[in-house]
Amino acid sequence: MLSSKYVLIAALFAAGGAFAQSGDVSRSLSEVTGDVWRFDNDFHVSMVVLTEDGAVVTDPINTDAATWLENEVRERFGREVIYMLPSHSHGDHGAGGEVFADTATIIAHENYQKAVGQNFGPTAPADILFSDKLTLEHGGKTFELTYVGAGHGDDMVVTVVRPDNVAFVVDIVSPKRLPWRDSTTAIEGMIGQVEAVQELDFDILVPGHSINGTMEDVTETLAYLEELKSKVMAELAAGRSLEEIVSAVSMPGYEDWANYAEWLPLNVEGAVKALQ
Ligand SMILES: [Zn+2]
> Domain ranges in the chain?
12-169, 171-276
Q: How far is the CA of 90 from the centre of ligand 1 (A)?
A: 5
Separation CA 209–CA 184 (nearest Å)? 16
Q: How far is the CA of 88 from the centre of ligand 1 (A)?
A: 7
- Please compute the mean of the pLDDT values over residues 219-229 and round it to a whole number: 98
For the chain, percent of residues with pLDDT exceeding 70:
92
Q: How far is the CA of 153 from the centre of ligand 1 (A)?
A: 6
The model's confidence at residue 119, banded by pLDDT at 50, 70 and 90, is confident
The model's confidence at residue 21, banded by pLDDT at 50, 70 and 90, is low
Q: How far is the CA of 92 from the centre of ligand 1 (A)?
A: 7
pLDDT higher than threshold 50 for residue 1: no
In 63-221, DSSP assigns E strands to: 81-84, 105-109, 128-130, 133-138, 141-147, 157-162, 166-169, 204-207
Buried b (16+ CB within 10 A) or exposed e, 66-83: bebbbebbeeeeebebbb
CATH topology of domain 12-169: Metallo-beta-lactamase; Chain A (3.60.15)
- Please compute the mean of the pLDDT values over residues 170-196 and round it to a whole number: 98
Helix (H) or strand (E) holding 243: helix 242-248
Q: How far is the CA of 197 from the centre of ligand 1 (A)?
A: 16
Q: How far is the CA of 212 from the centre of ligand 1 (A)?
A: 18
The structure's pTM equals: 0.91
* Chain segment 62-91, per-residue pLDDT in tens: 999 999 999 999 999 999 999 999 999 999
* Chain segment 130-164, per-residue pLDDT in tens: 999 999 999 999 999 999 999 999 999 999 999 99
pLDDT higher than threshold 80 for residue 22: no
Separation CA 271–CA 253 (nearest Å)? 18
Q: How far is the CA of 195 from the centre of ligand 1 (A)?
A: 17
Q: How far is the CA of 272 from the centre of ligand 1 (A)?
A: 20
Q: How far is the CA of 122 from the centre of ligand 1 (A)?
A: 16
pLDDT higher than threshold 80 for residue 17: no
Buried b (16+ CB within 10 A) or exposed e, 125-160: ebeebbeeebebebbebebbbbbbebbbbbbbbbbb
The model's confidence at residue 14, banded by pLDDT at 50, 70 and 90, is very low
Q: How far is the CA of 186 from the centre of ligand 1 (A)?
A: 11
Q: How far is the CA of 177 from the centre of ligand 1 (A)?
A: 15
Separation CA 98–CA 243 (nearest Å)? 44
Q: Which residues contact 128 (CB under 8 A, 6 or more apart)?
A: 105, 106, 107, 108, 134
